A and B are shown apart, each in its own frame.
Chain A
């Protein structure tokens, strides 16, 4: 594997995770608990899809075969997507979405913080810009974790369950393979074990404020590195990719 090939895969990971999570967040439009929150959720979706566009475009440049952001988004199948398992989890209720966002935003926050110093200029610039966005996503979701955790008895139980249900997909966030190994040596990528330590601190702090308890570490699913997914991703893609697939000759 060359450095370029590794970097290409790394960009897909970042781009795909933002894209899939952004698609999920956009499903909230017109379904929020109050109108202000509807707008907040859409803002997050817009940031994420914007991040995806940057990373997928860069992946296309690295690959050098003329593929665009849309080619990557609309013309790949499940087994070619490298997004985190967490990002594709269905929205569920507002608590499920809040917890998923919180876990993912905290991951992105600590990841982009260190990637801002990446030796790859594009990755560094992308991380600096994205860090500002995810700092807000983290603040927004963390506040909701606290409100729901320390709200009513019902909300407390609901989000505790969300946490317990989603926890088993968080191991996947920090797995690494040869791609990481190679890019860490080059000073481009970062050791996700370090990111995990910081991430855990954030999670614990917020859980504490929210009067929630951390789930026991049990079995952790993996998939991201090998483009293995839950069945949910296929349905998400079928919907998202419908038009370009149904009318391959059309431009939109």
Chain B
């Protein structure tokens, strides 16, 4: 009985757009949903450092190098903010990291694709960050306070990310024939996986129901995907690149672009671990973590010694 009343009060708060804070009562499912979604988001930021990190040492100018480095550093920061938000739900960062490394938690499948040329740094910034921003802007209004605050901060910082990517690919699209080819190839490889970032169609999305009711997710997968397509098509045209979808066509009546069917077999395959880089990404993360073990142990031991000294003194 108590719970029914609490649940009603909880839903009333959500409906009144009052944010839920860590110490507030919340249904167990709300907590679990958030733990899963926020940590998955955090893991994505952190794993997402790798495909771009792949080109830091080979960035073709010093300006490009510092820009890319600063951008990837932001992603580490965003992972950190999100882990912090997730930690307010009663699970430690250690636990979340363990879930990632034991494959109990997922991260965005887009990062399981390889970055094969410098133009991919353009495509990742332009498309992958572009898609992420559409989602994140929407999530600023999410009902959980710490998640919302993290999103506000992240959106503010990310505003340069998409621009740096677009600048790279635009520059290459207008460069030598080889550069132009690299740019088009990058778009060809990253277009469809970027659309998959929004997840399955609403009709096939198992986690959607409560997420929308509780205003964790403010817009559906299909709505967000459509927004992304609508704003990206023109950006491709301006720089003379062709989006690899023969069915892409402006629909006057709907006021949106129609687009071709996404290859959901590929999507589920990569989700299940069979993407080109799934194993590599996870192994990289585990190795860094294991290599850091003695360092974390030393820092803890040192801190303990200092505390003991204080007690004696």
- Within 8 Å by CB, do A and B touch in the complex? yes
On A, residues with C-beta under 8 Å from B are 19, 23, 26-27, 29-36, 38-39, 42-43, 45-46, 49-50, 52-53, 56, 69-70, 73-74, 93-95, 146-148, 150-152, 154-155, 158, 239-240, 242-244, 247, 249-252
Given A29-B53, A154-B298, A244-B61, 18 additional A-B pairs, CB 8 A:
A27-B57, A30-B76, A33-B292, A38-B73, A42-B72, A42-B73, A42-B76, A49-B65, A52-B62, A147-B298, A151-B297, A155-B295, A155-B301, A158-B294, A239-B58, A247-B176, A250-B175, A252-B118
The chain A residue sitting closest to B179, CB to CB, is A250
Beyond A46-B66, A251-B171, is A32–B288 a contact (Cβ under 8 Å)?
A: yes
In the complex, what residues of A have CB within 8 A of residue B76's CB? Answer: 29-30, 35, 38-39, 42
In the complex, what residues of A have CB within 8 A of residue B118's CB? Answer: 243, 252
**CA distance in complex: A249, B177 (Å):** 11
Expressed in whole angstroms, the minimum distance between the Cβ of B66 and any Cβ of chain A is: 5
In the complex, what residues of B have CB within 8 A of residue A27's CB? Answer: 56-57
**CA distance in complex: A36, B292 (Å):** 12
| Contact-size category for B | 35 or more
Contact A94 B56 (CB under 8 A): no
Contact A147 B62 (CB under 8 A): no
Contact A30 B58 (CB under 8 A): no
Expressed in whole angstroms, the minimum distance between the Cβ of B249 and any Cβ of chain A is: 34
Contact B295 A252 (CB under 8 A): no
Which candidate, B12-20, B77-85, B189-197, is the interface stretch facing chain A? B77-85
Beyond A35-B80, A38-B76, A150-B305, is A252–B62 a contact (Cβ under 8 Å)?
A: no
Contact B302 A146 (CB under 8 A): yes
The chain B residue sitting closest to A52, CB to CB, is B62
CB contact between B53 and one of A23, A30, A36 (< 8 Å): that residue:
A30
Name the residue among A50, A151, A239 with the largest chain B CB count within 10 angstroms: A151
CB contact between B301 and one of A70, A73, A151, A240 (< 8 Å): that residue:
A151
On B, residues with C-beta under 8 Å from A are 46, 49-50, 53, 56-66, 69-70, 72-73, 76-77, 79-80, 83, 118, 168, 171-172, 175-176, 178-179, 284, 288, 291-302, 305
In the complex, what residues of B have CB within 8 A of residue A240's CB? Answer: 57-58
In the complex, what residues of B have CB within 8 A of residue A34's CB? Answer: 292, 296
Contact A151 B299 (CB under 8 A): yes
The chain A residue sitting closest to B172, CB to CB, is A252
Expressed in whole angstroms, the minimum distance between the Cβ of B76 and any Cβ of chain A is: 5
Contact B60 A39 (CB under 8 A): no
Beyond A42-B76, A93-B291, A151-B301, is A23–B57 a contact (Cβ under 8 Å)?
A: yes
CB contact between A73 and one of B62, B79, B295, B298 (< 8 Å): that residue:
B62
Contact B176 A70 (CB under 8 A): no
Name the residue among B49, B83, B305 with the largest chain A CB count within 10 angstroms: B49
In the complex, what residues of A have CB within 8 A of residue B62's CB? Answer: 19, 49, 52-53, 56, 69-70, 73
Expressed in whole angstroms, the minimum distance between the Cβ of A227 and any Cβ of chain B is: 20
Contact B66 A50 (CB under 8 A): yes
Expressed in whole angstroms, the minimum distance between the Cβ of A22 and any Cβ of chain B is: 8
